[in-house]
């Protein structure tokens, strides 16, 4: 399973990319807003700079369109795609978005269909030619549904047909989400920075290393 970082913070991408395990980044308008500096004269230029810096670090960076009509999405997406070959145009799961995805597919521009909350939406996005679909599991969990069941349902459907579209598990909240997504066979998981930092650690690893160090200290007489 590919691991993506869910952030608009370049320093976080650089840090995790240096571990050698990062396959991509997903951004969205809310994450961009979180990083925005007060008084930025041209927010689109700032966003472009962020995306380009990320493209130097990872092979796949999702940049979300903010237009809600097909023509607007096409215009924005074409511009994003010109920025760098690693850019994937993120499009919301609406009928207008599906039409834009079909257009981008005809131009061989990669897309990530976001805000997917049902298997029916997932199938439509795949049929329109999405490169990636992003079901949001945490937001389903938040309202008392079982987000991971949606991933299982989508993967079951994907096994019946020849969809090339990759299933990206989004809105993850904790390490168990990542492990469960991998067990189901999801193609990609996007992970917030704080959750990503929890993945390498284990108390028994720390304790075990302390013991090895102390025993080796005895061997070399320290």
Binding test (CB under 6 A) with ligand G3P, winner from 47, 190, 191, 196: 190
Of the residues 90, 107, 108, 164, only one is catalytic, namely 90
Is residue 26 close enough to count as binding ligand G3P by CB under 6 A?
yes
Q: Any bridge partners for residue 167, and if so which?
A: 133
In which residue are the tokens 């996005």 written? Answer: 125
How many residues form the binding site for ligand G3P (CB under 6 A)? 10
Decide if 90 is catalytic. yes
12 near ligand G3P, judged by CB under 6 A:
no
- Does residue number 104 form part of the binding site for ligand G3P (CB under 6 A)? no
Q: Which of 80, 86, 25, 21 is nearest to 55 (CA)?
A: 86
Binding of ligand G3P at residue 175 (CB under 6 A)?
Answer: no
Q: Report whether 149 contacts 172 (CB < 8 A).
A: no
Token pair of 116, please?
Answer: 């997917």
Which segment (75-83, 97-105, 136-144, 158-166) binds ligand G3P by CB under 6 A?
136-144
CA distance 212 to 198: 23
* CB neighbour list of residue 142: distance below 8 Å, 6 or more residues apart: none
Per CB under 6 A, residues contacting ligand G3P are 6, 26, 28, 134, 136, 138-139, 170-171, 190
Catalytic residues: 90
């Amino acid at each position: 399973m590919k691991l993506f970082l869910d952030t608009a913070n370049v320093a976080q991408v650089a840090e995790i990319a240096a571990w050698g395990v990062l396959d991509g980044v997903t951004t969205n308008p809310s994450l961009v807003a979180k990083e925005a500096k007060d008084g930025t004269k041209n927010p689109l230029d700032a966003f472009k700079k962020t995306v380009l810096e990320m493209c130097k670090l990872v092979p796949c960076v999702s940049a979300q369109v903010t237009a809600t009509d097909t023509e607007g999405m096409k215009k924005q997406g074409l511009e994003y795609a010109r920025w760098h070959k690693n850019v994937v145009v993120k499009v919301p799961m609406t009928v207008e978005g599906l039409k834009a995805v079909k257009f981008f597919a005809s131009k061989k521009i990669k897309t990530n269909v976001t805000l997917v909350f049902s298997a029916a939406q997932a199938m439509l996005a795949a049929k329109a030619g999405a490169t990636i679909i992003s079901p949001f599991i945490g937001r389903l969990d938040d309202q008392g549904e079982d987000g991971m069941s949606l991933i299982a349902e989508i993967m079951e459907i994907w096994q019946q047909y020849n969809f090339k579209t990759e299933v990206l598990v989004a809105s993850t909240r904790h390490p168990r989400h990542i492990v469960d997504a991998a067990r189901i066979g999801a193609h990609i998981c996007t992970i917030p920075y704080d959750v990503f930092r929890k993945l390498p650690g284990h108390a028994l690893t720390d304790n075990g290393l302390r013991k090895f160090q102390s025993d080796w200290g005895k061997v070399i007489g320290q």
